[in-house]
Amino acid sequence: MHYDISSKLLIEMSQKEILRRLVGLPVLESELLEELPQETASLMLTDFPIMWTNEAEQRQLVLLEIQTRWEKTVPRRLLAYRTRYQLKYDLDAISCVLLLRPSKAAIDHYQDQEIDYRFRLIRVNELDAQEIIEQGVLSLMPFVPLMRSGKRLAYRADELIYESSLSKADKAVMLTSMAILAAIVSTNLAQELFFRRKDLMLESPAYKMFEKDAFKRGLKQGLEKGIKEGEEKGKREGVIRTSRENLLEILRERFEKIPRKMLQSLNTVKDPNLLKSFVKLAVKVESLNQFKQHLEEMLK
């Protein structure tokens, strides 16, 4: 499956946070130097030249390449890419590879008879999904399924995007991108994420780009095989989401704060009947501790 489209749209939206949090640069301003195509999905390159400025107003290049899987040619390709943009802009440059899939073969150092070249290798699977969730870094939420503990936290990332103040179009891009990227680790997770927000995604012009490329080549095939099952899952997810939202609203209204561990436990519940039982319980119990005790017993 190809992830070029989702990567490009995410970079356009998330470049500052990627440079700050993943590359470790004190970015004041940043600008993607080449415009992304808006009408075609036939994109092959996954490299992104970014001009960034620090607090001292010094400018520098960051040459970022996103790789779904590691290839032996990556270091030499990155070096050629770096040389091309240094010649064009006459600025110092930092080279980075954002690796989406785990790989034991991946390296951050290339050497031959004439060249000793080091670059930054960011392994997404080694990043902490819990930290991104807790800090509410919206622009990095689409990468959560690929991070450490990410599959478990993917639904929470989905909710944070959906409930955010982002525009409807931006939400659609981020949610669709997360569903596509999630397929790297789990096709089932990707399908579930898609059906949770299908209506929002289909309304966005961005979906047409995804449909032509990523979904058409991979995820869409999987969805078509089980479309009836998928529709049922989508309806079921809607019931689950509504029941969970009602439950949390009741708990917050009655007890104000809900412990993080309790939220995590409730977010793992996918049985609509069980959630309805929790709603009834939340209305009856006299304290949050009492609810917690019943919750732990019922989840066992």
Q: Which domains does the chain have, with CATH numbers?
A: 4-128 (3.40.1350), 232-299 (no CATH)
Torsions phi, psi for 34 (to 5 deg): -125, 130
What is the predicted pLDDT for the residue at 210?
54
**Residues 6 or more apart from 267 whose CB is under 8 A from it?**
155, 156, 159, 244
The Cα–Cα gap between 64 and 50 comes to 8
What is the predicted pLDDT for the residue at 258?
85
The Cα–Cα gap between 109 and 101 comes to 19
The Cα–Cα gap between 171 and 164 comes to 8
Q: DSSP labels for 240-267?
A: HHHHHHHHHHHHHHHHS---HHHHHHHH
| Under-70 pLDDT residues of the chain | 1-8, 34-46, 203-236, 238
Both ends of the chain: CA-CA distance in Å?
A: 38
- Six token digits for residue 245: 């939202």
